[in-house]
Amino acid sequence: MKIKNLMDFLNKGQADSSSEPVVSGLDSAAAAAQSGDNIVYIENNRIETLESQSPGKELLDSGTQWADRSMGEILLSQRKLESADINRIIDYQREKGLYFGEAGIELGLVTQDDILKALSHQFGYSYGHDEEPSKDMVMATTPFGKVAEEFRSIHAQLLNNWLDPAHKTLAIVSPGAKEGRSYFATNIALAFSQLGRSTLLIDADLRTPRQHEIFKVTSRVGLSLLLAGRVKMEDLDMLPDNVTAFPSLSVLSAGPVPPNPSELLSNNKFPLILRRLEKYFDVIIIDTPAAAYYSDVLAIASVAGSALLVARREYSKMQDLKDLKGVLDKARATTVGAVLNQY
């Protein structure tokens, strides 16, 4: 997947200096130099007292489920190693001067993937490979690969240029079908959740929903039933499905495909539902239908308030993207950036 700044073209003649597009490959030092900012290093000579150290001790003592456990203990609990294997690795580790994981791999007792999983537990990083996730979930299947790093780059830019308490809901939009909206929505939601931010992924594509397939959601209760008034608002807190491998991620599937998606999305229940959900999550990502369903996208974007454009390389047409940008402007939704997807 490659990221490009499409905003110059899309904003031609309608530049908005108040919003900063999401782009990739921004070098922080170069950016500081261009802006005239100087980097100043301040040496802190403050002497710590016992009183000032106590909060730090509390932080270390609080720990996490895995942080205070050795890699051997984690691999033992995951049944990747036996006690005898751990002793053998430790002896080899001392003899060769290696890290525990390196010694285990050289001895053929564990794989590189086993070590990465154990490290992810130690550092509080959700890694869902044990549950055989969909191939679309690259943040789970290959979280340390090149594509996953691209998603982290986009995630970092959204953190810096978009996310704040007043802007936490983002609609993922594209002009047509098969351009990678669901794929992008899935992985950017995973990226936010992997950093511990409470994240909700909503499948608002009530025509050809996919998130229930990607996340293997079995519940038939979803957005369509909420919008139709067939689920009580009091039950809303229990609706999003928690993704076991990613404790900070919840998914609200589309539910049964209705005969009247546009009417459901345009009724007054959608903004009420979204505003209530915003009270419980740090970030909400919305997967949307293709912009060919103009009224659907208009309704979703106007409530979300922010949108990110997804285009497919050598597939999407620039004029279609420009037309979609016009739809977003009409909905008074801020276009935070554009992603060129090679998929």
What does the pLDDT read at residue 27? Answer: 34
d(CA 172, CA 9): 19
H helix count then E strand count, the chain? 16, 7
Where in the chain are the domains? 7-23+134-341, 68-131
Residue 280 corresponds to which tokens in the numbers above?
């419980």
Residue 24 corresponds to which tokens in the numbers above?
């990739």
Would the pTM of this model clear 0.75, i.e. be above it?
A: no
For residue 24, give the 3-state DSSP assignment: coil
Q: How far is CA 114 from CA 27, 86, 101, 193, in A?
A: 33, 14, 9, 22
Q: How far is CA 235 from CA 39, 231, 299, in A?
A: 51, 7, 24
Residue 253 in contact with residue 209, Cβ under 8 Å? yes
Task: Name 310's bridge partners.
Answer: 339
What does the pLDDT read at residue 242? Answer: 77
What does the pLDDT read at residue 334? Answer: 94
What φ, ψ does residue 203 adopt, rounded to 5°? -90, 100
What does the pLDDT read at residue 26? Answer: 28
d(CA 128, CA 335): 31
7-23+134-341 topology per CATH: Rossmann fold (3.40.50)
Written as one letter, the residue type at 2 is: K
**Sole residue written with tokens 């801020």:** 334
Residue 209 in contact with residue 223, Cβ under 8 Å? no
Helix, strand and coil content of the chain, in percent to the nearest 5, comes to 45, 10, 45
Residue ranges of alpha helices (H) inside the chain are 7-10, 28-35, 50-62, 71-77, 83-96, 100-106, 112-122, 138-141, 146-161, 181-194, 211-214, 223-227, 261-266, 269-277, 294-304, 318-330
Q: Tell me whether strands 283-287 and 249-252 are parallel, antiparallel or unpaired.
A: unpaired
Q: What are the per-10-residue average pLDDT scores of the chain (343 residues)?
A: 44 47 38 37 38 46 52 82 88 84 87 73 56 77 85 91 91 94 95 88 95 84 87 64 80 92 93 90 96 93 95 90 92 92 75
